[in-house]
Amino acid sequence: MNTLVQTLQYFVFITIELIALFLLISAVVEIILMYIPEEKIRRKLSGAGIWGNVIATGFGALTPFCACSTIPMTVGFLNAGVPFGTTMSFLIASPLLNPIIIGMLGAMVGMKAMVIYFVLAFICSVIFGFILEKIGAQKYVKNVRLKPSSCCCGAQIDKRNLPFGQKIKMAFSGAWNSLRPIMVYLLIGVALGAGIYGYMPQDFVMKVAGPDNPFAVPAAAVLGIPLYIRAETAIPIGVALMGKGMSLGAVIALVIGGAGMAIPEMSMLASIFKKKLVAMIVVVIFLTAVVSGYLFNVLL
């Protein structure tokens, strides 16, 4: 009975914390994006060399939240003449540097871990985007043009000239509209995390994914793929596993592997890229997950 009570308390506390974080972070990002015209970003990215990779990675860290917006924006960049490597840096950074992932890591794992994660994912996005262009991977892009799609991200309109009070209202309204479709996934993730927290044997987790197992990091990166539903699902599961003894590096690899190689996103990428380029992106994300995981175990 004590275990059940503790599990329920964990579920309620984490649910409230994640909902509050999601709404706040989403609203802040919504406001920031109101001041960044997409056309201006495209101009800055075009012909900017390695600096374009840096700008694209920074832009990917802000937007968007889901693949149904990432993929059309990627195609839009390519059709607008943005360099291939720059576009790939955006594509890699968008899921890995999702503001929700960054905010949740800071709140639930610690600010130091959040900063290290951000720096590692940022650097990997810049470098791998640059490498993909240098090896000529752009030849594996299909000749497609996607129409703008309507999804949970909402339509893009010019909001820069609106009164600030209206911007705040629209930001929180947009945050709530983004939260509603994924609420069930958030609750599933917290429920799984609560079950792990309350009932999974600590000795088992330590043996399989503890810091003494050298294969825990790559295994976690691969396991993150089927486990991943949304970032809001993966984080509470990873935090619960860490509380049971899973190494922080393995948790980070789990999050990166799931967020970057999510099956729905890979399926969408297959519609615009040939199989070889999709495979390259999978390898890039896997290497990012493994390198980041081992570095986390060394640094923390």
In this structure, the chain runs to a length of 300
Phi-psi bin for 176: left (phi > 0), alpha (psi -120 to 50), beta? alpha
The tokens describing 41, both together, are: 């970003």
- pLDDT by 10-residue block (mean), the chain, 300 residues: 76 82 78 72 72 89 67 79 90 85 80 89 92 91 58 53 80 81 73 73 67 81 65 71 82 81 75 88 88 86
pTM of the model: 0.74
Per the structure, how many domains does the chain have? 1
Identify the sign of the CA torsion 278, 283, 286, 292: negative
Distance, in Å, from the CA atom of 87 to the CA atom of 75, rounded to the nearest integer, reads 9
Distance from C-alpha of 97 to C-alpha of 80, rounded to nearest angstrom? 24
Instruction: Pick the closest to residue 101 from 27, 21, 167, 171 (CA basis).
Output: 21
Query: What are phi and psi for residue 66, nearest 5 degrees?
Result: -140, 160
Q: Which two tokens stand for residue 170?
A: 């629209």
pLDDT of residue 148: 45
Structure tokens at 69: 């917006």
What pLDDT score was predicted for residue 264?
66
pLDDT for 118 equals 92
Q: What are phi and psi of 273, to 5 degrees?
A: -120, 150
Residue showing tokens 């799984």: 192
Token representation of residue 110: 């610690």
Q: What is the pLDDT of residue 88?
A: 92
Contact 128, 255 (CB under 8 A): no
What is the spatial distance between Cα 26 and Cα 152, in angstroms, rounded to a whole number?
13
Tokens of 50: 């390695």
Range of the domain at 64: 2-299
Beta bridge partners of 273: 141
pLDDT tens digit sequence for 168-215: 888 888 878 877 776 776 787 678 767 776 776 666 666 766 777 788
Asked whether the beta carbons of 42 and 78 are under 8 A apart, the reply is: no
Name the DSSP letter for residue 146.
P
Contact 119, 87 (CB under 8 A): no
